[in-house]
Structure 1
Amino acid sequence: MVLTAVRGALGFLSRLPVGHTERAWDAFVGTPAAFPLAGYVVGGLVAVPFLATGLLPAPVIAAAYLGSVVLVTGVNHADGLADLGDAAVVHGDPAERRDVMRDTTVGVGAVLALGTVLLALALAALAAAGLPPLVAVALVLSAEVGAKLSMATLACVGRPSHDGFGSAVIDGNDPRRLLASLAVTLPVAAVAVPATAVAVLTGPLLAVALSGWADRRLGGIGGDAFGAANELTRAVALHVGVAAWSLFGTPLGDWGVLAWTLS
């Protein structure tokens, strides 16, 4: 059941050719923990460029990372961020804001949201590319798992604004199911404490804040909020992780990270 749910999650959260069946979809929407479990797969793939840290220039690694994010995950989540950006700058009630999100026209709010998050992610990737390879990979992986944990958090604590993806994932779930989602993130959170731990925890913290904002401005959570949470968390979590490593590091060092990971 869990493996089927993870396949369904990968079918929705990535461009990998798996999980495109009704059975996988049904298992996915009923299993919030499938979000962060899929994050391990996606994170492992997009972290590959950082294995070349120290061999290639940091801008090359950062560009390869951004390209891999697009290749592996597509633009579905970025579209949610763009729609939320347009809604954020609209003056009106929740129904009017949701109407703007359904409009195919790209407004200044969307451009600003996408541009800011993309720039933030690029700068974080540049900073990560200056770290030891195993540390950089651990931080990128934890940021991706944290991004997916933000979506699992919305599924467990959010209130749907209308029928759609949001309601399909939220209905039937509750805050108690968030415990399983948190539990499956422990392996990556423990790789390079505190850096990877704070990167993972960025997910639920940002999701709770986004859920409160969406309740006030949009009348609840929709599919676009899930996509926006993923994109926002990835960028913020990578910055937080790099900052935590720079400030605190770990007494184990780079080889210690490898030993801890393999133990």
Structure 2
Amino acid sequence: MSAPSPTSPSDGLRFAFGTLTVFPVRVTRWDRPAARGGMLCAPLAGLVVGTAAAAAGLLLLLLGAGAPLAAVATVAVPAVLTRGLHLDGLADVADGLGSGKPAGDALRIMKQSDIGPFGVLTLVLVLLAQVAALVQAYGDSWTRGALAAVVAAVVARLVLTLAARAGVPPARPEGLGAAVAGVVPRAGAAAAGLAVAGAAAAGGALLGADGVLRAVLAVLLSAAAAELLLRHCVRRFGGVTGDVFGALTETAATTALVVAALG
């Protein structure tokens, strides 16, 4: 069998934007090298999504809407730009974990098209938490709200990079989880984490020393929360799935927004 041809930066970008957003980007390669590049580029997709979300919130503020409407728009934009896949994954994982059933049965529950009570409750609480946190941030200043939206979206995709690191197995032999599980070298995942933390700190500098601290804490605590969920899912399901990646994304985003609202 011949070795895969070398990937270009565009292969990784296409994979990231083609699988993580609704932007009309055609994924030209669906192999492990392209998946590696795509997962390393995932925070860049988050930057675009977060910028769009912040722009929607700021536009409403400019038009005279209050912080609540701006917060709702900021939460809605990432859902639209991802076809709601991450929220759907969160609900499916909540149903799978809440079922208390063995891994095989839990995975079957997660593949069903309907959403159970655990999924509904989790979605409601997560969306309420995200909106409430953004109301607080926008109420303090438009800069703080916009920065919170961008940082949350970026770190939400960073945790995908971290979850795709070597050593994390797939729960199924097919699907997005199997395509990206274990493709990112640990050194690459660590470098992506440091890069995002540094960029968040630079953005937080717009709000002074407190903004720097808050931005870095948002990255660290979001990554920690996602890591706890990741390990629990690996223990319960035997590995990761596309739904697990979605749940990690929403967990990290919510944590980052809550951190932005504190203090």
Q: TM-score, normalised by structure 1?
A: 0.85
- Pick closer, same or farther for the CA change 1:4–1:188 going to 2, 3 Å: farther
CA RMSD of aligned residues (A): 2.0
Decide which of 198, 221, 234 is 1:215's aligned counterpart.
Answer: 234
Q: How many residues align?
A: 243
Q: Does the 8 Å contact 2:134/2:261 carry over to 1?
A: no
* Identical positions, percent: 30
Q: Which amino acid aligns with 1:33?
A: L
Q: Are 1:77 and 2:89 counterparts? A: no
Residue aligning to 1:124: 133
Residue aligning to 2:5: none
Structure 1 residue runs without a partner (length 5+): 247-263
Deviation per residue, 1:76-113 (Å, 9 max, x gap): 11111111011111122111111111122321111111
Q: Does the 8 Å contact 1:37/1:145 carry over to 2?
A: yes
Q: Does the 8 Å contact 1:160/1:170 carry over to 2?
A: yes
How far apart are 1:215 and its partner, in Å?
Answer: 1.9
Residue aligning to 1:256: none
Q: Are 1:226 and 2:233 counterparts? A: no
Q: Are 1:195 and 2:220 counterparts? A: no
Q: Are 1:165 and 2:165 counterparts? A: no
Deviation per residue, 1:12-32 (Å, 9 max, x gap): 1111112x2223776651123
- Pick closer, same or farther for the CA change 1:180–1:6 going to 2, 3 Å: farther
Q: Which amino acid aligns with 1:159?
A: P
Q: Are 1:103 and 2:115 counterparts? A: no
- Pick closer, same or farther for the CA change 1:96–1:6 going to 2, 3 Å: same
Q: TM-score, normalised by structure 2?
A: 0.85
Counterpart mapping for 1:12-161 below 5 A? 12-18=19-25, 20-23=26-29, 28-31=34-37, 32-52=39-59, 53=61, 55-156=64-165, 158-161=168-171
How far apart are 1:125 and its partner, in Å?
Answer: 1.7
- Pick closer, same or farther for the CA change 1:167–1:24 going to 2, 3 Å: closer
Q: Which amino acid aligns with 1:214?
A: C
Q: Which amino acid aligns with 2:250?
A: E
